A and B are shown apart, each in its own frame.
Chain A
Amino acid sequence: MLPAPDRPAAAPRHPTPLLAVEDLRVQFRTAAGEITPVDGLSFEVAPGETLAVLGESGSGKSVTAQAVMGLLPRPAGRVTGGRILFDGVDLLTRPAAEVRALRGPDMAMVFQDPLSSLNPVFRVGTQIGEVFRRHRGASRRQARAAAIDLMKRVGIPDAAKRVDDYPHQFSGGMRQRVMIAMAIALHPRLLIADEPTTALDVTVQAQVMALLTSLQQEYGMALVLITHDLGVVADVADRMLLVYAGRAAETGPIREVYERPAHPYTAGLMASLPGEQERLTPIPGSPPNLAALPPGCPFHPRCRYAVDRCRAERPPLRAVAGPGRAAACHRAEEVLDGA
């Protein structure tokens, strides 16, 4: 399988990735002690590319997004290591005002629950227009016109009328469209979508995904799609990053990884998808307890490939099987061949 010629699939080799997360470490103080939901995670996103960040609940994928957007709940959570480079600028070391100026015009985010992520006390038109008023100094009238245009663009019927409605008057899918309208208002170069379709009806999910991808192509944004739904992103994403216990388990071009996983966890997820086989094969065990991670590879208690080395030594993310692919498994080659 060759990478598509029109797009350099090996994004990590791109001279200046739009977003580069290097060895990120996020820690939370909890009642159960210090936990590390993100522990040495690295990934890059090239301009205009779509990266799917996959993982179970609690794997650290949403915390990573929060860290990138500067939304970690203070004072419990904090970044204790690594760098987050946006366009070569380390967001963690720059002054807050400088980073804040990037949010909106350069990077934006779409959240999981579109009802709770809209302010219930303002009309949606006001909320969308707010972005233009703040960042572009638009007048009330201009902001309202821009809001109506955006609502039309994201496929809200009767936008001129609905601009004066409150969030609770919209259906779930329409609310998510409003959220997306706010996020893309200033044509950001990076859009992080944290489970953008999870709270929506199945019929609406496909529409919202289609909207996101069409907007991405129109504006040339890089899109980071965080999800636990392998199916949703299969046709949309260029590359994928599978996160387990706050670490990268496997990364690579999404089609190749889906077809020939190099990590037992990826293989297990594929086997647990409804497909040709009659019975689904679940991954044994339960997601790791972050407060009490096993030594060595965090996946070894659930892994049928586990050997003594896996229990003792944490596998680094290493290149396997072709350009742009990497897996954090001591026995990646065997997983690739067998399974």
Chain B
Amino acid sequence: MSVIAPPAPAEAAPAAGPARRPGTARIRFALTVIAVYVAAAVVGPVLLAYDPVATRTADRLLPPGSRTSDGGLAVFGTDQVGQDLLAQMLQGARVSIAVGVATLLLAGLIGVVVGVVAGYFGGFLDGLLMRLADVQLAFPSILLAIFIAALLGPSVVNVVIVLAVSNWVTFARVVRSQVLTVRGREFVDATRTLGAGTWHVVRRCVLPACVAPVLVVATVELGHVILAEASLSFLGLGTPASTPSWGVTIANGRNYLAEAWWIATIPGLALALLVVAFGVLGDALRDRFDPRLKSL
């Protein structure tokens, strides 16, 4: 080997830092944003008391940064009845995030059960459940949500039910496809040859394999669900006015857009940022965990 090797550029590469797993920066950014929201939702209403039925007409429609009549600072301004917008939004964050999480737990539970049953047992049950899912996917989910919400009436619990009913399909399909892949894997056979029954295989082989994809779906869906909840509330079909979610606040501000833009705009921006953060997080998690994307 008399050829003198040129200085390998590969040696210089590690100096740029250890190879990061895909999406690390995006995951950190999104998690930071979400953490700020969650902290605000948990701590905010404790610091800034909000009374949904109080009215202070002296402080109506104050722009952001104004002083209220009792000397407080209205950072985001006040709304049409003199309520501090920031306090209202912090309270709304609680409702929105709580509804989102509760919805996903319910939708995830339904979806995972349906997906496992359809994927593992197959046959007639699979056909029935997946056609049901297809029908529901073909139907606009917000329309379905409006329909059910109109039937059940506005309440926080009903919003959770409505949104869960229109969101279980994604979980079911992802879980089913995962179950179909895992069911044929050799380690499932190996577990069976040691005397494992169906329930044991589902619990020890199938469900653990579903955790990563379900988490990815849940992250993406959480943004969607929070948005859907705001949409329903905006339409008056979501949380009642006494439970101010962001949708309610935005709907209230709609009539005052000309003279008080902040009432609808600031919660709208807050909502958009949170939904985007969940979207980014979901995409980044999918890049990291989805084996199909990895092989591309």
* B192 & A134 in contact (Cβ 8 Å cutoff): no
Q: Within 8 Å CB of A134, what residues of B?
A: 194-196, 200
- Residues A111 and B200 in contact in the complex (CB < 8 Å), given A105-B195, A135-B195: no
Residues of B within 8 A of A (CB): 122-123, 184-187, 189-197, 200, 204-205, 208-209
Q: Within 8 Å CB of A120, what residues of B?
A: 187
* B194 & A116 in contact (Cβ 8 Å cutoff): no
**Nearest-Cβ distance from residue B214 to partner chain A, whole angstroms:** 14
* A109 & B193 in contact (Cβ 8 Å cutoff): yes
- Answer whether residue A207 sits at the interface, using C-beta atoms and an 8 A cutoff: no
* B187 & A104 in contact (Cβ 8 Å cutoff): no
| 23 A-B pairs whose Cβ atoms sit less than 8 Å apart in the complex | A66-B189, A69-B192, A71-B192, A73-B184, A75-B122, A100-B195, A104-B194, A108-B193, A111-B186, A116-B186, A116-B187, A117-B187, A117-B189, A121-B208, A121-B209, A130-B194, A130-B204, A131-B195, A134-B200, A179-B190, A182-B194, A183-B194, A185-B194
Q: In whole angstroms, what is the CA distance A69 to B185 when docked?
A: 16
Q: In whole angstroms, what is the CA distance A97 to B200 when docked?
A: 13
Q: In whole angstroms, what is the CA distance A190 to B123 when docked?
A: 33
**Nearest-Cβ distance from residue B195 to partner chain A, whole angstroms:** 4
In chain A, positions 80-138 with a C-beta closer than 8 Å to chain B are 97, 100-105, 107-109, 111-113, 116-122, 130-131, 134-135
Cross-chain contact of A103 among B185, B186, B193, B204 (Cβ < 8 A): B193
Contacts A71-B189, A103-B192 supplied; 20 other A-B pairs, CB < 8 Å: A66-B189, A69-B189, A69-B192, A97-B197, A100-B197, A103-B193, A103-B195, A104-B195, A113-B186, A116-B187, A119-B187, A119-B191, A119-B205, A119-B208, A121-B209, A130-B194, A131-B194, A134-B200, A183-B193, A185-B194
Q: In whole angstroms, what is the CA distance A97 to B194 when docked?
A: 13
Most buried by A among B190, B191, B194, B204: B194
- The chain A residue with its CB closest to the CB of B122 is A75
* A103 & B194 in contact (Cβ 8 Å cutoff): yes
* B194 & A122 in contact (Cβ 8 Å cutoff): no
Cross-chain contact of B204 among A66, A109, A122 (Cβ < 8 A): A122
- Answer whether residue A294 sits at the interface, using C-beta atoms and an 8 A cutoff: no
Interface size class of A (residues with CB under 8 A): 20 to 34
* A69 & B193 in contact (Cβ 8 Å cutoff): yes
Q: In whole angstroms, what is the CA distance A109 to B190 when docked?
A: 7
- The chain A residue with its CB closest to the CB of B185 is A116
Q: In whole angstroms, what is the CA distance A75 to B209 when docked?
A: 23
Q: Within 8 Å CB of B189, what residues of A?
A: 66, 69, 71, 111, 117
Q: Within 8 Å CB of A102, what residues of B?
A: 195
Q: In whole angstroms, what is the CA distance A111 to B186 when docked?
A: 8
- The chain A residue with its CB closest to the CB of B190 is A117
* B194 & A108 in contact (Cβ 8 Å cutoff): yes
Q: Lowest 6 A-B CB distances belong to which pairs?
A: A104-B195, A109-B193, A103-B195, A117-B190, A117-B186, A116-B186
- The chain A residue with its CB closest to the CB of B208 is A121
Q: Within 8 Å CB of B187, what residues of A?
A: 116-120
- Answer whether residue A12 sits at the interface, using C-beta atoms and an 8 A cutoff: no
Most buried by A among B122, B192, B200, B208: B192
Q: In whole angstroms, what is the CA distance A179 to B186 when docked?
A: 12
Most buried by A among B184, B186, B205, B208: B186
Q: Within 8 Å CB of B193, what residues of A?
A: 69, 71, 103-104, 107-109, 183
Q: C-beta contact mask, A278-308 vs B, less than 8 Å → 1, else 0?
A: 0000000000000000000000000000000
- Answer whether residue A268 sits at the interface, using C-beta atoms and an 8 A cutoff: no
Q: In whole angstroms, what is the CA distance A122 to B211 when docked?
A: 13
Q: In whole angstroms, what is the CA distance A109 to B195 when docked?
A: 11
- The chain B residue with its CB closest to the CB of A179 is B190
- Answer whether residue A70 sits at the interface, using C-beta atoms and an 8 A cutoff: yes
Q: In whole angstroms, what is the CA distance A121 to B196 when docked?
A: 17
Q: Within 8 Å CB of A121, what residues of B?
A: 208-209
Q: Within 8 Å CB of B191, what residues of A?
A: 119
* A70 & B192 in contact (Cβ 8 Å cutoff): yes
Q: Within 8 Å CB of B208, what residues of A?
A: 119, 121-122
Q: C-beta contact mask, A253-281 vs B, less than 8 Å → 1, else 0?
A: 00000000000000000000000000000
Q: In whole angstroms, what is the CA distance A59 to B194 when docked?
A: 26
Q: In whole angstroms, what is the CA distance A104 to B191 when docked?
A: 9
Q: In whole angstroms, what is the CA distance A120 to B187 when docked?
A: 9
Q: Within 8 Å CB of B204, what residues of A?
A: 119, 122, 130
Q: Within 8 Å CB of A97, what residues of B?
A: 197
- The chain A residue with its CB closest to the CB of B212 is A121
Q: In whole angstroms, what is the CA distance A113 to B205 when docked?
A: 17
Q: Within 8 Å CB of A69, what residues of B?
A: 189, 192-193
**Nearest-Cβ distance from residue A195 to partner chain B, whole angstroms:** 12
* B192 & A101 in contact (Cβ 8 Å cutoff): no
Q: C-beta contact mask, A134-146 vs B, less than 8 Å → 1, else 0?
A: 1100000000000
* B123 & A75 in contact (Cβ 8 Å cutoff): yes
Q: In whole angstroms, what is the CA distance A119 to B204 when docked?
A: 9
Q: In whole angstroms, what is the CA distance A113 to B196 when docked?
A: 20
Q: In whole angstroms, what is the CA distance A135 to B200 when docked?
A: 12
